Structure 1
């Protein structure tokens, strides 16, 4: 039914989404115009979800001069943005009744130029706020905390962020002093925060128990903490999160991951400088049974490999089933992990629903120039393929019949 035949004053909720793999030139982006049109067309709009898929090409960004976007009725907004300054623009008073804001931001970084015409007043009407950023930020103290401290009447808060280059881990004391003490009405605080610092030749490190102790007075059901120390890069990571875990994303999972059930998580990133063995991928699918998007960043070869082509198999591995996987990214993965997912006796992939991101040369090596029988079944299941700018040769088309 067309918009012209609908009584626009009766529309109170709108969801706008886009084709996930459609190619769009960001320079010709018209999303701000679409948003403006929605807000002016539906004069009684109370709920708007703009691009829940969080696709880069469809994230909103606002350039100076900023478009005139406002609403006197909107109560709840879900939106995907490119920059943190776009979030500040949303919160500068143009949505006077806004009570709930859920933001997925591509990048949180300090702008090169001084911010102007940005309202820094308190946000007394805001009751619920959710912030996710998949890219690590160094602006936790200068951007994220000042924004949160404006939300004095917040009742529900969700944070899913990666914080880099701090001189100490973010712990319960940090959260209490810089966030919770500014939100006396807060009832629910759900979070995953991964913070890192480079320890170089430092000897005295905070322990898991030290970090865990700082959460002894938290109201959350449970707070889980674990710490990674990477000797090669002289880098340390501290993961803290509330449990039960109801967030959509879980970034930077390592071999130290303590397990648990995360039935709401749909997107996962694995990273380590130690090998991921086959059993680790079984643990991942058991902990994240409904995982849809998986990214693996690990350049270390596996210690234990299983391959039917070898006559000296020492291990009897269980076939792991990733039933709901729709997107797999292996750009920064050792060939062993590409084999792990492409050999059907290791992992069973869903049929005709999986998009694979992989480097062409790796794909060529692992499939033995697209002739290897052991990887043929899972390659035949692929729905789409991105080779990081390269093209699949014509002679390999039969190896991927559904592309």
Structure 2
């Protein structure tokens, strides 16, 4: 039998359902919905199958660390036509920050139980962004991760706080980059409404008025409100000013308040600063799975913190070279470091020559990408720029530094021992100044 294929053609609509589904499963769900919606009754019904509507990723992944919104034309059609028609079938949405509000306002999602927030998960400018999610429309949502720059009282207006739909949340994590001053007034009442929580993660630094956050406080004001809580990961750094005016507990007392905590080991220590008249109390569960560690001093007890990406270093006592070696060993994957210390080093061991026989360890920070030195003594700038002290990674580090300090430490951009690390820098922020033309060869990649 001979078949003449010269004028034959097969359209998508001609294929049997089984073959059609095999083909469409090779495509992403968003492409299927956008391409078949409204073509004809049969293809429209296929596109509305739960295989293509249960889980939608309404964004484009550029890389593991970068996402883009859908093109405006595609986003318009989804928000105006497709989402309102299939809203009751959607169980999971993956969104990115710039289009999140529009998608969530497009319709109700009565059966949504999962929400992946990309970029929003990485950084929010304020906590108010999550109020869009917890306004009652996603009553099956059980997991929410929030990472914010700061939290302000305006993030919790009275008329919105009562509308938050929190009881069904099972897993919640809150990371905050900067110090907050609303822990008692806003954070604690917010958490107390999560009565069915099974896993809680808190990564916070907070000002306190009376005394430090300790195990008793966590038990009484948070854990006791969560009878189903199984996992509690936390690092809370309490900041208290004018400690001489009231009694502050000892490290031993703080540690004793965690006597009833089960499963995880809890570590704590206290820093007192006489010049600034303030104190810090660090409490954290261990093993440590969080990414921020706040205000590390010479009292830092050490340990392994392999998930931490960002640290701040502060003290009224000098940081010696061995301190930076301890930091590297405790935080092997550190990316962002800021240093505040005006005290010069006591045991300055900077070597100008690699032929020096002195027993001295060169420290490597292979993942460092951002270093802030605005409030650091010249000795710590020298610590990081002299190549026989610290080895910086090639062409990846951005440094925030005062121009005058950079000029002094590099001997007006002529010092050989700082030339190698300066040549590795990717960018500089000089507090409003610009590099002079004669110094640009000293920073060939900036």
Distance 1:61 1:337, change over 3 A: farther
- Residue deviations 1:123-156 (CA, integer Å, cap 9, x gap): 2221110101121111111110111011110111
Structure 1's unaligned 5+ residue stretches are: 23-29, 52-57
Instruction: State which drifts further: 38-47 or 103-112.
Output: 38-47
* 1:341 maps to which of 360, 375, 384: 384
Per the normalisation by structure 2, the TM-score is 0.77
1:247 matches 2:286: no
Distance 1:394 1:4, change over 3 A: farther
Higher gyration radius (CA): 2
* Partner in structure 1 of residue 114 of structure 2: 75
Alpha-carbon distance in structure 2 between the residues aligned to 1:280 and 1:38: 57
Alpha-carbon distance in structure 2 between the residues aligned to 1:67 and 1:47: 13
* Partner in structure 2 of residue 300 of structure 1: 343
- Residue deviations 1:218-248 (CA, integer Å, cap 9, x gap): 0241000000000111111000000000011
Per the normalisation by structure 1, the TM-score is 0.84
Structure 2's unaligned 5+ residue stretches are: 1-26, 34-51
Alpha-carbon distance in structure 2 between the residues aligned to 1:120 and 1:263: 38
1:82 partner SS: coil
Contact between 1:14 and 1:47, CA under 8 Å: does it hold in 2? Answer: yes
1:7 matches 2:32: yes
Instruction: Return the structure number with greater helix share.
Output: 2
Q: Give the C-alpha shift of residue 89 in structure 1.
A: 3.5
Distance 1:376 1:38, change over 3 A: farther
Contact between 1:39 and 1:71, CA under 8 Å: does it hold in 2? Answer: no
1:209 matches 2:245: no
* Partner in structure 1 of residue 148 of structure 2: 105
1:223 matches 2:266: yes
* 2:183 maps to which of 128, 140, 159: 140
Distance 1:135 1:372, change over 3 A: same
Distance 1:385 1:94, change over 3 A: farther
Alpha-carbon distance in structure 1 between the residues aligned to 2:319 and 2:274: 17
Alpha-carbon distance in structure 2 between the residues aligned to 1:109 and 1:223: 29
Distance 1:150 1:331, change over 3 A: same
- Residue deviations 1:258-296 (CA, integer Å, cap 9, x gap): 000111111111111211110000000101111111111
